[in-house]
Structure 1
Amino acid sequence: MAETANPFFSPSTLPYQLPPFAEIRDEHYRPAFDQGFAEQLAEIAAITSTTEPPTFENTMIPLERSGQTLQRVAEVFFNKSSSDSTDFTNALEEEIAPLLSAHQDAIRLDPALYRRLQSLHERRHALGLDAEGRYLIERYYTEFTLAGAGLDDDQKELLRDYNQRLSTLTTRFEKNLLADTNELAVVFDTADDLAGLGDGEISAAAEAARERGLDGKYVVTLVLPTGHPWLASLTNRSSRERIMAASRARGIHGGEHDNRELVLEITRLRARRARLLGFDTHAAFVTADETAKTPQAVADMLGRLAPPAARNARTEEADLQRQLADGETVQSWDWAALTETVRREKFDVDFAAMRPYFEAERVLRDGVFYAASRLYGITFEERPDLVAYHPEARVFEVRDEDGTGVGLYILDLYTRDSKRGGAWMNPLISQSALLDHPTVVVNNLNVPKPAAGEPTLLTYDETNTLFHEFGHALHGLFARVTYPKFAGTNVFRDFVEFPSQVNEMWMLWPEIVANYAVHHQTGERMPQDLIDRLQVSESFNEGFATSEYLAAALLDQAWHSITADDDVTDVAAFEAAALAEIGLDNPAVPPRYASTYFAHTFSGGYDAGYYSYIWSEVLDADTVEWFKENGGLKRENGGRFRRRLLGVGGSKDPLEAYRDFRGRDAVIEPLLKRRGLDS
């Protein structure tokens, strides 16, 4: 095949360099990866072979320019393998994962390149660089050092082996999970089994069954977390139990998709690699280059939150118990449904009754986009002329108030068997002044798709998720940096969730909710007294919500606090002991993710970092207070947040950027109040 026929071999000529999805075929990926590997290694060799002393211009600039073919194909391929996988992408990802790991090691463990970085790092304050240039040197030096660049040759060889094996294992974990999630989808014979669901949800279940060749039946596909959103509405207790049982069975029921051995092997290898790199545990290795700095800092914070969260959950459970008949006890599959009963009684708030007000298109255009327009002055125009990677993915052009292009936003809303669970943001093209790159970002969600002609009605949580993920998209769209290293959301893992969490605040902001929460049939706006009651009930059920999250976060920390000398052989026993030790072993409140389907930590890059959500929420809650103190939804407030936080990407220390925005460090009290943990 001629090189010119491969669309990855040169930059796209489409608007904003949108990848030419209409031209990309399966046969293009592997040659593009191979060429991308070879090109970047040659570019690195050109840096290290020069006899000239290291300078910023002959080392850092070509380093930042390297690997563009590889970047183009990797961004497109890994987005596709997550959102629209096939047998081909699954097989190729298993091939590519160890090759990519080896390629990254070839660069990070290159002794000649590391010596040049060391030299520049020692002289960084005397090079006449601006702050971003100095920070670029500091980040590369730190990351290469932590990656093992200072090890001897034998140690590097062992490290390469660990890295390649881990890349293969984590890829296999993700593929097993997707397959098991699809296979364990729950089939119901009649609509009566789904009593309590709305017409749109039943239509979505019928459509899911039809797509599997099960006409006349109903299929409930599983979501990534333990709890399914439909558990809150289903009145048939046995139906709820079946869904919960299927959710919790992922990765533990034997067969080719069992993830238990993978969990043990991944954590064992991570512990051994950490020791090789000079750390006691993988958690210590990870947090060394995060804002937390140490596992003890994480443990201190989570330990402060866990006891009151567990107490609150027990109090909530007692309330729920009163809804059951004598002799019955609250089970995990009951919690959501009973909670809705208590919520209605205490606050007259019914989440199920709110769904008709959350029609997806209104939420998107008159909620999510409207809030961003009010706050930042940006506009959105759908571009049906631009082809995305899947027919259901929609492309929007984002412009500033003066008409200047900001980037492209792609929304892929619906669930499908080829898409992994959860919701996320991916970049396809990341802004960089050095490379003259624009921005293209993707949001993926997993909303069940109703039959043709039926409206897509979002749950309360799905609406919140759309606002959350769009916060990541804004971070990617607004970042304006010189160097690719700092593009978009390339910040510390325990900071990356902060902008997305802040964006959730606009979901119920008075001017925003009044604009989008309109009944899809009657056209009536959501009653203000319902919104008021919802806000009054904000901390209701936070004992459960905080406990299930903390259980997962602390489980992640426990797995990655294993040392190379520890011999763990039983996943279930380890998990049970870890939860009991922290007092979060309530069977009615299972962890948000159990080990065998904990994609964040075993395949998603949040290993020893799932604490990041609540760590970032300290900043988020403090920021919400700032917006309230300063008039809320005002352009000058949005402008300050955009310039001083979103706009800097990863080009400065994130806590320094926060202090620049807030005028001080964050305080934890607003978070404690939000989650009902302040008493």
Structure 2
Amino acid sequence: MTDAATNPLLSPSALPCGLPDYRQILPEHYLPAFDAAFTEHRGEIDAITRVRSMPTFENTFVPLERAGETLDRVARTFYTVSSADATPAIQEIEEKLAPLMSAHQDAIQLDGRLYWRVKSVHEQLGQLDLDPEARYLVERHYTEMTHAGAGLDDEQKQRLTDLNQRLSVLTTTFEKNLLADTNDLAVVFDDAAELDGLTEGELSAAARNAADRGLEGRYVVTLTLFTGHPYLSTLTRRASRERLMAASRQRGSRGDEHDNSGVLREIVRLRAERAALLGYESHAAYVTSDQTAGSPRAVHALLRRLAAPAAANARREQEALQSIIDDGDDAFALEAHDWAFYTEQVRAAEYDLDRTALRPWFEAERVLRDGVFRAATELYGVRFTERADLPAYHPGARVFELHNADGSPLGLFILDLYTRDTKRGGAWMNSIVSQSRLRGTQPIVVNNLNVPEPAPGKPTLLTLDEVTTLFHEFGHALHGLFATVTYPHFAGTAVFRDFVEFPSQVNEMWIYWPEILAAYARHIDTDEPLPAEVVDKLTASEAFNQGFATSEYLAAAWIDQVWHSLTSEEAAAVDDVAAFQAEALADIGLDNPAVPPRYASTYFAHVFSGGYSAGYYSYIWSEVLDADTVEWFRKNGGLTRANGDRFRDRLLGVGGSKDPLAAYRDFRGRDADIEPLLKRRGLTG
């Protein structure tokens, strides 16, 4: 299965935008396709380095950007499946693939002959007549290869390659352990009474989960990626809430075959060793040196600036919750599993607002078409057509074709809404194909969520948090769809990690925009719009519970920073993950037992199996830009094509082809102001 005649992965798909024909792709096709693609890519790089003439942009960077197209196609096709439908066969392939992919990437990034050519062109950059994108391409390739270790000697490169391969295995193991433990710890309830407070749809989803596991007549509540769970806000039985929270917090730390404690300690140690090899004092210093933050010092300063007022706000919120409990018939001390439930009671008392009762107004299909899609049409003129004839990688994923306002094709969007045991937790966007003028490709982007699927015939009613997630992830999708670049290196969301969340956060602003809300928030039975007084209460309560929300996020961001600020020797000395985490949280004043971190170390997939190591701060860092941008939209007329076109042309559309802060200044006219963020999160006092 190593030629195009027998392996569908080894030739471009004839489907629109090069959508892989998943109907033809079998698990056994992947490894042979990767092997062939590695060989082809290596040959393409060798051809560049064998050129006898002196390096130029045309004989080095243009072929470098053309190289690896087959590998790119195979990898994006596979990793889309491995994250969203990781069957045992796919997991086995991913484990075998991890060190192979790492070794291949190192072979390219650390190629001394290629680095010499890149460095030679970079040294001539001031004398070259290049357009801005080409000039920035030279700068980025040189910086990234240097950052990756291309300037090391051969012995150092070999050690670096060994470290990278071992880390690739460990991060894959971390994710596999987490997925298995998340499935194993799904909470089984024997009686529907134990789930009092759930809606009919939520209860049917729990019954369906049980039936899928052979537990007819019982109920299974699957866990979310983060520490809490949406059901904690409505479950009336305290014992049920406690079981759900306890299961979530045990993940990866039970001392069994899925325990991630040793895995993450080795990851931290090896990352620190790699950073030292590359000339940095820590992995955090290594990562931030090539981000907009520039250094851990800048990150720590922001996190510490926000932590104290956030923790103080959380304590005030906790006192209010405790007073509600104390006024009841059976008083007890508030614990983490109680917070969401009593928060809704305080919200109801202070704002006469029950967010858990809003689900009938948030039917998923209407939110998608009349909310998410409509906002994009109003802002950018894009049109959506569902293509049921096009195959996605799973029967539950849906394909949409997008066109610009002038009728020109834009790309494809795939939505995979529902949770399943083979899908990793959380929500994310990825690209199957990225746009490039050089390669003549158009984008295909995917949004994955983990919404419980109700029983057949029952509507999917979203929580307000799930509505927010849908808008957020589609903001990433728009970034991936709109980026219009020549070179694939800059395609889609290929921007600095601490900038990538900014466009997605901005897209959340349309959730409450009057004409968008009025279109999608309509009662499932009566078609009545969400009452105006409820909308007013939602707006008035936006800063409500921000002490908790900010604290749990900052706690996770700080855990990430502290782990990745260790030297390899310091990391090797850590023998108790829980104690290390507790000490870190105490240091920044975020050690309130009632407010656990959004992710604890042993299930912190973002940083130990994803791309956010030493970078989880990116969400709040990007939110400074987001809050400032939301203020700009509001002052300039909001949901208009003129505003959308400006945001698209000057920011989303440039992809990674321009320094992101320069792109922001071009859009906004100045650097971002932090005050809108402080106001939004109630941190101005």
Post-superposition offset of 1:4: 1.5
Identity, % of aligned positions: 66
User: What CA distance in whole angstroms lies between the structure 1 residues aligned with 2:673 and 2:8?
Assistant: 49
Question: Paired residue for 1:416?
Answer: 420
Post-superposition offset of 1:570: 1.1
Question: Paired residue for 1:202?
Answer: 203
RMSD of aligned residue pairs (Cα, Å): 0.7
User: What CA distance in whole angstroms lies between the structure 2 residues aligned with 1:353 and 1:151?
Assistant: 60
Question: Paired residue for 2:629?
Answer: 623
Post-superposition offset of 1:16: 1.1
Question: Paired residue for 1:114?
Answer: 115
- Post-superposition Cα deviations, 1:487-541, rounded to whole Å, max 9, x if no partner, equal 0000000000000000000011111000100000111110011001110011000
User: What CA distance in whole angstroms lies between the structure 2 residues aligned with 1:251 and 1:390?
Assistant: 28
When structure 1 is superposed on structure 2, of 650-659 and 18-27 the one drifting more is 18-27
Post-superposition offset of 1:26: 1.1
User: What CA distance in whole angstroms lies between the structure 2 residues aligned with 1:3 and 1:74?
Assistant: 16
Question: Paired residue for 2:547?
Answer: 543
Post-superposition offset of 1:5: 2.1
- Map residues 171-190 of structure 1 onto 2, 5 A cutoff: 171-190=172-191
Question: Paired residue for 1:568?
Answer: 574
- Is 1:593 aligned to residue 599 of structure 2? yes
Question: Paired residue for 1:146?
Answer: 147
SS at match of 1:569: coil
Post-superposition offset of 1:11: 1.2
- Map residues 327-342 of structure 1 onto 2, 5 A cutoff: 328-342=332-346
Post-superposition offset of 1:184: 0.2
- Is 1:35 aligned to residue 53 of structure 2? no
Post-superposition offset of 1:323: 1.4
Structure 2 counterpart of 1:318, one-letter code: E
Structure 2 counterpart of 1:615, one-letter code: W
Question: Paired residue for 2:511?
Answer: 507
Post-superposition offset of 1:327: 5.1
Post-superposition offset of 1:437: 0.5
- The TM-score, its normalising length taken from structure 1, stands at 0.99
> Which residue of 351, 364, 378 corresponds with 2:382?
378
Question: Paired residue for 1:280?
Answer: 281
- Map residues 154-553 of structure 1 onto 2, 5 A cutoff: 154-325=155-326, 328-553=332-557
User: What CA distance in whole angstroms lies between the structure 1 residues aligned with 2:465 and 2:541?
Assistant: 15
User: What CA distance in whole angstroms lies between the structure 2 residues aligned with 1:209 and 1:526?
Assistant: 33
Question: Paired residue for 1:649?
Answer: 655
Structure 1 counterpart of 2:61, one-letter code: M
Question: Paired residue for 2:614?
Answer: 608
Q: Is the 8 A contact 2:268 2:568 kept in 1?
A: no
Structure 2 counterpart of 1:599, one-letter code: A
- Post-superposition Cα deviations, 1:124-183, rounded to whole Å, max 9, x if no partner, equal 121210000010010000000011111111111110111000000000000000000000
Q: Is the 8 A contact 1:618 1:666 kept in 2?
A: yes
Question: Paired residue for 2:558?
Answer: 554
Post-superposition offset of 1:314: 0.2
User: What CA distance in whole angstroms lies between the structure 1 residues aligned with 2:72 and 2:33?
Assistant: 10
User: What CA distance in whole angstroms lies between the structure 2 residues aligned with 1:578 and 1:393?
Assistant: 41
Post-superposition offset of 1:22: 1.1
Q: Is the 8 A contact 2:4 2:11 kept in 1?
A: no
- Is 1:662 aligned to residue 668 of structure 2? yes
Post-superposition offset of 1:73: 1.0
User: What CA distance in whole angstroms lies between the structure 1 residues aligned with 2:47 and 2:527?
Assistant: 64
User: What CA distance in whole angstroms lies between the structure 1 residues aligned with 2:52 and 2:36?
Assistant: 27
SS at match of 2:136: helix
User: What CA distance in whole angstroms lies between the structure 2 residues aligned with 1:75 and 1:125?
Assistant: 36
User: What CA distance in whole angstroms lies between the structure 1 residues aligned with 2:127 and 2:361?
Assistant: 60
Structure 1 counterpart of 2:585, one-letter code: L
Q: Is the 8 A contact 1:200 1:456 kept in 2?
A: yes
Q: Is the 8 A contact 2:269 2:569 kept in 1?
A: no
Q: After the TM superposition, which parts of structure 1 deviate over 3 Å for at least 4 consecutive aligned residues? A: none
SS at match of 2:5: helix
Post-superposition offset of 1:564: 2.2
SS at match of 2:336: coil
Q: Is the 8 A contact 1:125 1:134 kept in 2?
A: no
SS at match of 1:4: coil
- Is 1:14 aligned to residue 39 of structure 2? no
| Count of residues paired in the alignment | 679
Post-superposition offset of 1:565: 2.5
Q: Is the 8 A contact 2:383 2:405 kept in 1?
A: yes
Question: Paired residue for 1:672?
Answer: 678
- Post-superposition Cα deviations, 1:544-579, rounded to whole Å, max 9, x if no partner, equal 000000000000000000012312111011001000
User: What CA distance in whole angstroms lies between the structure 1 residues aligned with 2:413 and 2:532?
Assistant: 32
User: What CA distance in whole angstroms lies between the structure 2 residues aligned with 1:345 and 1:399?
Assistant: 47
SS at match of 2:275: helix
SS at match of 2:429: strand
SS at match of 1:403: coil
User: What CA distance in whole angstroms lies between the structure 2 residues aligned with 1:534 and 1:521?
Assistant: 22
User: What CA distance in whole angstroms lies between the structure 1 residues aligned with 2:569 and 2:391?
Assistant: 52
Q: Is the 8 A contact 1:231 1:333 kept in 2?
A: yes
Question: Paired residue for 1:583?
Answer: 589
User: What CA distance in whole angstroms lies between the structure 2 residues aligned with 1:32 and 1:564?
Assistant: 37
User: What CA distance in whole angstroms lies between the structure 1 residues aligned with 2:189 and 2:319?
Assistant: 31
User: What CA distance in whole angstroms lies between the structure 1 residues aligned with 2:208 and 2:323?
Assistant: 37
User: What CA distance in whole angstroms lies between the structure 2 residues aligned with 1:671 and 1:349?
Assistant: 24
User: What CA distance in whole angstroms lies between the structure 1 residues aligned with 2:89 and 2:197?
Assistant: 40
Question: Paired residue for 1:632?
Answer: 638
Q: Is the 8 A contact 2:41 2:67 kept in 1?
A: yes
Post-superposition offset of 1:44: 0.5
Q: Is the 8 A contact 1:415 1:447 kept in 2?
A: yes
User: What CA distance in whole angstroms lies between the structure 2 residues aligned with 1:449 and 1:470?
Assistant: 20
User: What CA distance in whole angstroms lies between the structure 1 residues aligned with 2:353 and 2:625?
Assistant: 29
Structure 2 counterpart of 1:116, one-letter code: R
Structure 1 counterpart of 2:162, one-letter code: D
User: What CA distance in whole angstroms lies between the structure 1 residues aligned with 2:252 and 2:554?
Assistant: 21
- Post-superposition Cα deviations, 1:80-116, rounded to whole Å, max 9, x if no partner, equal 0110011111111111111111001101111111111
User: What CA distance in whole angstroms lies between the structure 2 residues aligned with 1:532 and 1:632?
Assistant: 18
Question: Paired residue for 2:133?
Answer: 132
Q: Is the 8 A contact 1:331 1:588 kept in 2?
A: yes
Q: Is the 8 A contact 2:382 2:405 kept in 1?
A: yes
Q: Is the 8 A contact 1:226 1:247 kept in 2?
A: yes
Post-superposition offset of 1:211: 0.6
Structure 2 counterpart of 1:668, one-letter code: I
Post-superposition offset of 1:402: 1.4
Post-superposition offset of 1:41: 0.5
Post-superposition offset of 1:345: 0.4
Question: Paired residue for 2:92?
Answer: 91
Post-superposition offset of 1:3: 3.0
User: What CA distance in whole angstroms lies between the structure 1 residues aligned with 2:127 and 2:419?
Assistant: 53
User: What CA distance in whole angstroms lies between the structure 2 residues aligned with 1:126 and 1:330?
Assistant: 67
